[in-house]
Structure 1
Amino acid sequence: MTVRTWYRDLGTPIASGMTIDDQLKAAGLDWTVELSPIRYADDCSTEEYLAAYRSDTQQMLSVYGKWRKPFQNHQILETFHTFCTQNDLQIDRIGCLKGGKELFAFCKLPIEIDVRKVGDITEAHLMIAESHECGRGLQIDLYFNRLVCTNGMTRSVRRSQQVINHVSEYNSETRGRASVASRIAGILTHALATVRDYEKVSNRLADVALTKQEAELHLIKAFGDPNKPLEAQPRIVQTCLKLFLGDGKGSDLLSAYGTAYGLLESVKEYINWHSPVRGSLETAFSSLCYGSRKQKQDAFMQQLVSVHL
């Protein structure tokens, strides 16, 4: 994999002064969600459900109940901008996944993490997503990007130990844009708290020295077979160990050299850039944000925390 932008070149950059209509056109999102009765068999139809599809390509997006009205791309983007304006943020990239079923916006938070103050900088980005698929809705997560290696890791924004990822359906007749914006009011406060928690854990892991043998045991526990020698372990174990021992980008920094933080970054680098890609870059990035790649990183971080902190 040669692409090294944290967002995998997905989406379209947003320039200052662009109207929402300009942004939608630039991102290929200047289409509407239309509804159609569902017909099946020889000459059967149902009034209980409707097919939601793109007006430009007629690609089907989801099946809606007859009570649900589509939340249009223009409304979604207005909601994204309302949230960012209220919190003095600026959207820098918008786009879609899965053929338009999910819209997203990225914005960089005005805060950086410098692990152990040695120039090992990690940026924090908010990822705001809204889905046209029935059963899903507004979702907000944090994406941490370590600059030296472009290793990314997603963390959920939490409030009182509860994840504030919104997985619910919109009804545009009863939940207008102002109401939607009010549902996520104050989320920046919790996002910044999540950044500080991540910074605290990263610094503490950077203070934990690890030998080659300890790193090997951690990797085998997480991804391998304790009954097999190193040379018989899966590729992820062997590659991560090499990255930890000096092959990884930024592995020579004082924050990462021979530390638990460095081992975490070796796993992140493998999952981000060395793990086999099945499908498109979009699929890999989606997995990193919401799927199995995210789960592997979360589990390994928790393993290090539970053992050493």
Structure 2
Amino acid sequence: MAHLVEQMAYVGAAPWHGLGSRLSPKQPLEVWQREAGMNWQIQHSPVHFKADTVGNLGTIHSFPEQKVLFRSDTKAPLSVVSSRYQIVQPGEVLEFYRDLTEVSGYELETAGVLKGGRKFWALARTGQSTALKGNDQVNGYLLLATSCDGTLATTATPTTVRVVCNNTLTIALDGTTRAIKVPHNTRFDPNAVKKQLGIAVSQWDEFMFRMRALADRKVQWHEAMGYFMNVLCEVSPNSQLPEVLPNERALRKVQALYEGQGRGATLESARGTAWGLLNAVTEYVDHERRARSNEYRIDSAWFGQGAQIKQRALDAALQLAA
């Protein structure tokens, strides 16, 4: 398939990945479901196979321990999974936000489908917002995503977006994310997830307290280089440098973003600080890192190797400010 994104919708300014069709604010979930390409069901069928016999007249057998998942609209196959696999429908991801948007002040901002329907997500702004030095605004979001091919548990992730550059970062404290994960061998219970999320979302103040500490932590040139080497090349600050640096292109690009080329790099909060180091890496992952397309970039930045790099960057920045 040429594109990972099947369809997508957003409100407000274009999202950081630049994909999707724009909606006016306060649309009902039914409009979101249609415009985000999530108005279909995952259906399933037992696995069948054909066994040749004498005379090439095949006999159809079933394999009840596995089932094929496919789309209700196109009948396109999505994956083969265990018969115990618990399906989460695209509509359930949006429905998760109904009371949050109607009662709790959340606002859906983007939703869509990746990999032809194998992954789908919705992202809503929580209403939480903090401004760091120099009016560097950071807003709180909640990302709910799942897959039907075994690559991603149903995961609710408190997330931040830095307004000046649209950098996205998973909220994590003490080296662990506050994501709530429901594996597909367990039934997805949205109410139980929301109860757990109440604790995670309440940690916004503590997380932003740590981000303020990063903005206050001035960084020397040698510390910045050690940080980037650690995060991007996985070379510890005290180890001997290899003759050929892995990921040298990324290292140079992130250094340039940190030294002024990055969006928001010259703000008081970021110039010469650990917050600036962290945002140089997140901007690189979200906007600059090599990818076959923006669709691949969003998949990596939220769910794949890009997300791991950003987590490593956050952990290393917090260590600097400790």
TM-score range, shorter chain: 0.7 to 0.9
Q: Deviations over 1:246-271 (max 9, x none)?
A: 22221211111111111111122222
Which stretch of structure 1 is more off in the superposition, 73-82 or 243-252?
73-82
Query: Pick from 118, 124, 143: which aligns with 1:101?
Result: 118
Q: Deviations over 1:74-111 (max 9, x none)?
A: 44432332454453323233221221122211111111
Query: Which SS does the other structure have where 2:171 is aligned?
Result: strand
Give the C-alpha shift of residue 8 in structure 1.
1.7
Give the C-alpha shift of residue 54 in structure 1.
0.6
Q: 1:62 to 1:87 in 2, by over 3 A?
A: farther
**Are 1:53 and 2:64 counterparts?**
no
Give the C-alpha shift of residue 33 in structure 1.
2.2
Q: 1:269 to 1:11 in 2, by over 3 A?
A: same
Q: 1:70 to 1:234 in 2, by over 3 A?
A: closer
Q: Percent same amino acid among aligned pairs?
A: 22
Amino acid at match of 1:246: G
Number of aligned positions between the proteins:
296
Query: Pick from 132, 146, 171: which aligns with 1:130?
Result: 146
Amino acid at match of 2:225: E
Query: Pick from 148, 155, 164: which aligns with 1:139?
Result: 155
Query: Pick from 150, 158, 168: which aligns with 2:184?
Result: 168
Which stretch of structure 1 is more off in the superposition, 125-134 or 82-91?
82-91
Which residue of the partner structure matches residue 202 of structure 1?
A: 211
8 Å contact from structure 1 (residues 87, 188) kept in 2: no
Gap runs ≥5 in structure 1: none
When the two chains are superposed, the root-mean-square deviation of aligned CA atoms in Å is: 3.2
Amino acid at match of 1:30: N
Which residue of the partner structure matches residue 269 of structure 2?
A: 255
Which stretch of structure 1 is more off in the superposition, 209-218 or 232-241?
232-241
**Are 1:243 and 2:257 counterparts?**
yes
Amino acid at match of 1:299: R
Which residue of the partner structure matches residue 307 of structure 2?
A: 294
**TM-score, with structure 2 as normaliser:** 0.78
Query: Pick from 215, 218, 224: which aligns with 1:215?
Result: 224
- The whole-number CA distance in structure 1 between the counterparts of 2:35 and 2:155 is 23
Query: Which SS does the other structure have where 1:165 is aligned?
Result: strand
- The whole-number CA distance in structure 1 between the counterparts of 2:44 and 2:287 is 40
Give the C-alpha shift of residue 69 in structure 1.
6.9
Amino acid at match of 2:132: V
Q: 1:113 to 1:33 in 2, by over 3 A?
A: same
- The whole-number CA distance in structure 1 between the counterparts of 2:224 and 2:26 is 50
Query: Pick from 14, 36, 39: which aligns with 1:30?
Result: 39
8 Å contact from structure 2 (residues 87, 184) kept in 1: no
Give the C-alpha shift of residue 161 in structure 1.
8.3
Amino acid at match of 2:303: Y
- The whole-number CA distance in structure 2 between the counterparts of 1:231 and 1:165 is 36
8 Å contact from structure 1 (residues 14, 93) kept in 2: no
**Are 1:306 and 2:319 counterparts?**
yes
Gap runs ≥5 in structure 2: 1-12, 52-58
Which residue of the partner structure matches residue 198 of structure 2?
A: 189
- The whole-number CA distance in structure 2 between the counterparts of 1:287 and 1:185 is 26
Amino acid at match of 1:211: Q
Amino acid at match of 2:184: S
Q: 1:68 to 1:230 in 2, by over 3 A?
A: closer
Query: Which SS does the other structure have where 2:107 is aligned?
Result: coil
| Residue correspondence of structure 1 range 265-280 to structure 2 within 5 A | 265-277=279-291, 279-280=292-293
**TM-score, with structure 1 as normaliser:** 0.81
Q: Deviations over 1:206-248 (max 9, x none)?
A: 1111122221222223334652689997122222222222222
Amino acid at match of 1:114: A
- The whole-number CA distance in structure 2 between the counterparts of 1:74 and 1:126 is 17
Give the C-alpha shift of residue 297 in structure 1.
1.5
Query: Which SS does the other structure have where 2:218 is aligned?
Result: coil
Q: Deviations over 1:25-67 (max 9, x none)?
A: 2222222222223222433322332211112222212334446
Give the C-alpha shift of residue 19 in structure 1.
4.8
Query: Which SS does the other structure have where 2:38 is aligned?
Result: coil
Q: 1:35 to 1:268 in 2, by over 3 A?
A: closer
Query: Which SS does the other structure have where 2:315 is aligned?
Result: helix
- The whole-number CA distance in structure 2 between the counterparts of 1:87 and 1:63 is 38
Query: Which SS does the other structure have where 1:109 is aligned?
Result: strand
- The whole-number CA distance in structure 2 between the counterparts of 1:223 and 1:76 is 33
Amino acid at match of 1:251: A
